[in-house]
Amino acid sequence: MSLKAFPGGVNPSPPTASITKVTMPALAEMKRQGKPISALTAYDYASSRLVDEAGIDLLLVGDSLAMVVLGQENTLAVTVDEMLHHTRAVHRAVHRALLVADMPFGSYHGSVAVGLGNAIRFVKEAGAEAVKIEGPRVELVRALTEAEIPVVGHLGLTPQSIHRMGGYRVQARTAEAVLQLKAEAHALAEAGAGALVLEGVPREVAAAITAELPIPTIGIGAGPDCDGQILVYHDLLNLTFAQPAKFVRKYADAGALIRSAIEHYREDVEHRAFPADEESYHLAPEVRNALDATGTANQNSGKLRRV
């Protein structure tokens, strides 16, 4: 831990006075005004502060954390408790963005009552301002809305359906599938969803749904015509170790930057170039003098800068 930050722990928050909080109604207003919505995932305090301070509108604690943070093969194994743990960390960092938590696989696939109970945990125990659920779960969306929990729907390529889909594949490629997706999108909006993530669908389909729907659509692999866009933090910064999907644009190579900084640090340690005397703490002169007088001071002490 950095002693500079001790004992206060977390570094001071940015001033909040001039910040206008993004809310679910604010996203609807952005759609009405034709103002694009920026969204990004984040999973911990430091990255969430950077995302929030960069002015991103919607911050999603995505269950993609199973893969990009926990190193799991897909999103299925991450638990409610793990998602709550990360959502709490993000909540401590975020002042402006709308904080949305992903409900993990299994937490809402049984009864509506169980889904509602788990969603309440995200709001009550972790500070989520909305939850995201995958698939056309209209009854659950209605129940969450009645319980005052804003919902973001997620249709198209829904990663929690990996086994049903037979892999991560672009969805809604046939006329029949397009009509079904449109019907599901309308049903979610009518049930009260405040926004809809459209993932892995043809551009034309996302554009048509965006034009028809009263609520904002947020695309990922769905082309440029959605009301907003979302990416995974680790994809945007090249912090993943897999071949990126076609829709990913790498805005920086943080992976290379971090690797090079760590190699540099290791070399400095190996060559005793780190830490320098300026990076060391020193005894007060009177203590040094007292020790010198007893002859117990470090033999190298003469070479060291005095505090």
Footprint of ligand KIV on this chain (CB under 6 A)? 41, 60, 62-64, 102, 197, 199, 220, 230, 232
In this chain, which residue has its C-beta nearest to ligand KIV? 62
Q: Which is nearer to ligand KIV, 203 or 288 (CB)?
A: 203
CB nearer to ligand KIV: pick between 71 and 302: 71
Q: How far is CA 23 from the centre of its chain?
A: 17
Toward ligand KIV, which CB reaches closer, 62 or 192? 62
Residue 193 falls in which region: left (phi positive, over 0), alpha (psi -120 to 50) or beta: beta
Q: Pick from 185, 135, 141, 183: which is nearest to 159 by CA? A: 135
| Shortest Å, Cβ 189 to ligand KIV | 18
Amino acid making up residue 101: A
Q: Which residue, 214, 208, 197, is CA-closest to 155?
A: 197
Q: Report the residue number, 192 or 228, with the smaller CB distance to ligand KIV.
A: 228
Query: From the CB of 196, what's the least distance to ligand KIV, in Å?
Result: 11
Catalytic site positions: 199
- Minimum CB separation of residue 263 from ligand KIV in Å reads 30
**How many C-beta neighbours within 10 Å does residue 102 have?**
30
Q: What is the DSSP string of 51-87?
A: HHHTT-SEEEE-TTHHHHTT--SSSTT--HHHHHHHH
User: In angstroms, what is the minimal distance from the CB of 39 to ligand KIV?
Assistant: 8
